[in-house]
């Protein structure tokens, strides 16, 4: 898979689809990689120029000199779009990818033509969330990345998913295991110290689709729905029976909703 040098690191990405088609950029969550979007890449590459990439310190992208704040992840996204000459893409971020997407849009609102926020929230971490991050970093340091991943993995899916769709649970674990301790610890610190995008929601002027999971234990439905309500003219969909990774757990509904949304864009 190709890599590009930017902002002092080597970043892995994958770009598919017709050169003249509208760019569609997917930003994965934590602790995943571009592999999270395999199903979307396959579905959308016929009609869209689909970009997936590994956030710094995750998948096969280097972390660079740590610590790196969330701002660096947003700067990377903007630099990657420059390098690949992708203009006015639709930006789709899941969870931490949503934090990066919101911050990127806030920094450069003129550069995007649409926004899709999946399983994410606009506000910054409160004290309880900060303490959970601290405990996660401690687990990674004392017990290793695998121990942290083992604890996190079941919470990412709806309770029924591991039994009803074991291949999804397996694929997700495989993606998670490709991440390393330093990259994961940095991402936890970056998320704990991220800015609050809540006030920015009312300023969003591009079409927006918000996607929630009915059984998402990490991003409560009312918070995701509340975020959608604050974005002028946004559309909202809740994926039934899905947890935190609706693009994997309910791919047909997810892809259909995204396709419908994309068709409405000028």
Q: How far is CA 70 from CA 10, 73, 129, 192, 214, in A?
A: 17, 5, 16, 9, 27
Give the nearest distance from C-beta 138 to ligand MLT in angstroms: 16
Give the nearest distance from C-beta 132 to ligand MLT in angstroms: 8
Element (H, E) at 93: strand 90-94
Q: Is 29 in the site for ligand MLT (CB under 6 A)?
A: yes
Which listed residue (13, 26, 30, 53) binds ligand MLT by CB under 6 A? 30
If binding means CB under 6 A, how many residues of this protein chain bind ligand MLT?
Answer: 6
Q: Specify which residues 25 forms β-bridges with.
A: 51, 91
Query: Which residue is nearest to ligand MLT, using beta carbons?
Result: 29
Strands 3-6 and 9-16: antiparallel
Give the nearest distance from C-beta 89 to ligand MLT in angstroms: 20
123 CA to centre of own chain: 15
Which listed residue (62, 66, 79, 218) binds ligand MLT by CB under 6 A? 218
Kindly state the tokens that stand for 235.
């559309």
Residues from 90 through 129 that contact ligand MLT (CB under 6 A): 95-96
Give the nearest distance from C-beta 226 to ligand MLT in angstroms: 16
DSSP-H helix ranges across the chain: 38-44, 70-83, 96-107, 127-143, 145-152, 161-164, 166-177, 181-192, 221-230, 246-249, 251-263
Residues from 174 through 193 that contact ligand MLT (CB under 6 A): 191
Q: Which residues bind ligand MLT (CB under 6 A)?
A: 29-30, 95-96, 191, 218
């Amino acid at each position: 898979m190709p890599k590009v040098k930017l902002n002092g690191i080597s970043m892995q990405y994958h770009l598919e689809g017709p050169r003249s088609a509208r760019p569609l950029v997917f930003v994965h969550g934590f602790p995943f990689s571009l592999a999270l979007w395999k199903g979307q890449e396959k579905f959308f590459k016929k009609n869209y120029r689909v970009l997936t990439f590994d956030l710094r310190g995750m998948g096969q992208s280097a972390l660079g000199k740590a610590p790196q704040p969330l701002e660096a992840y947003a700067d990377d996204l903007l630099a990657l779009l420059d390098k690949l000459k992708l203009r006015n893409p639709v930006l789709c971020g899941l969870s931490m990818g949503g934090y990066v997407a919101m911050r990127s849009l806030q920094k450069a609102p003129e550069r995007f033509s649409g926004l899709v926020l999946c399983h994410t929230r606009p506000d910054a971490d409160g004290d309880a969330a900060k303490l959970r991050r601290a405990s996660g970093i401690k687990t990674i340091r004392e017990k290793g990345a695998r121990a942290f991943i083992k604890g996190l993995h079941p919470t990412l899916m709806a309770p029924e998913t591991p039994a009803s769709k074991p291949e999804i649970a397996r694929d997700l674990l495989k993606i998670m295991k490709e991440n390393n301790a330093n990259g994961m610890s940095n991402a936890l610190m970056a998320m704990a110290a991220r800015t609050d995008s809540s006030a920015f929601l009312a300023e969003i002027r591009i079409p927006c689709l918000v996607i929630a999971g009915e059984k998402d234990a990490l991003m409560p439905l009312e918070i995701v729905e509340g975020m959608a309500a604050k974005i002028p003219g946004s559309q909202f969909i809740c994926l039934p029976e899905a947890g935190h990774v609706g693009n994997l757990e309910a791919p047909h509904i997810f892809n259909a909703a995204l396709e419908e949304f994309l068709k409405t864009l000028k």
